[in-house]
Amino acid sequence: MQNIQRFTLSDLALPIKTLYTGYLLAIGLGLLMAGMQIMLTHGMADGKFGLSVDDIVYSYHGNHDGPNATKLESKLFGSMKDNAPPEVRLTLVKWADAGAPANEWESNIKPLVDQYCAPCHANMPGLANITDKAVMDQMTKRDEGMSISTLTRVSHIHLFGVSFIFFFVGWIFTYATGFPPKVQAALILTPFIFLIVDVASWWLTRMNPNFAWLVIIGGFVYSLASTIMIFTSLYQMWIMPLRQGRSPFAE
């Protein structure tokens, strides 16, 4: 079959290069911020900085029998650790361990919640309003992991949003040269496959903690494939022409 002549990244007109470059830089920074956000939320589920298998298990399957076995305790010793002094956290934890008795709520617990938790939890969308006793009751139940409704919401948002990112990164990468077609096609397909693996593993981990490894593998592989495509595309748009003795700013 006769090869079809097509543009390459180094041949693109300057306005298109700047459009693609702006998108790739913004997306690359967004992926870094997403990684930091994961470290500061899921990565603190076991109370220690850094993403581990335990963090994944606690986030999706729950901490059924171990220490910090309620969501309140898990948060107070994890991602919310710096938002209240130790004596306040200890008071809240002891209250939760005692079964969250209702007769202590108004006199002892709610004033602490109002002072240290309400500024964010009562005003920021997406955060549980734990100044409401009914919401706090859910937080003091034994941690059973992410709820089905939350998992469903996060899954479809993640699949829709991240798929768009991978589509446009892959679209730009189709103009790259120096890769055998099958290798290039595999790199483009890899983030989509492992995005599905990643989301599916959330559900599997909720049922069985042994699947937690899949969450880490899925996220690592699609991040790696995306990084290769982003850096390759930027290199071929701006550095490759210089190495070939051409100006990357040519119209």
Structural domain spans, the chain: 9-42+146-243, 67-139
Nearest to 51 by CA among 227, 215, 206, 221: 215
Please state the rounded mean pLDDT for residues 129-137. 88
Distance (Å, whole) CA 166 – CA 183: 16
Residue 70, classed as helix, strand or coil, is strand
Which long-range contacts link 214-217 to residues 24+ away (Cβ below 8 Å)? 215/56, 215/60, 216/51, 216/53, 216/56
- Kindly tell me if the per-residue pLDDT of 9 is higher than 60: yes
- Kindly tell me if the per-residue pLDDT of 161 is higher than 90: yes
Report the DSSP beta bridge partners of residue 70.
Answer: 142
What band does 45 get if pLDDT is binned at 50, 70 and 90? Answer: low
Alpha-carbon distance values, 2 to 5, 8, 174 (Å): 9, 18, 18
Average pLDDT, the chain: 87
Percent of the chain with pLDDT over 90: 53
| H or E, element range at 232 | helix 212-234
- Kindly tell me if the per-residue pLDDT of 154 is higher than 80: yes
- Kindly tell me if the per-residue pLDDT of 55 is higher than 80: yes
Please state the rounded mean pLDDT for residues 98-123. 89
- Model-level pTM greater than 0.75? no
- Kindly tell me if the per-residue pLDDT of 108 is higher than 70: yes
Amino acid letter at 245? G
| Tokens describing residue 82 | 């710096």
DSSP 101: -
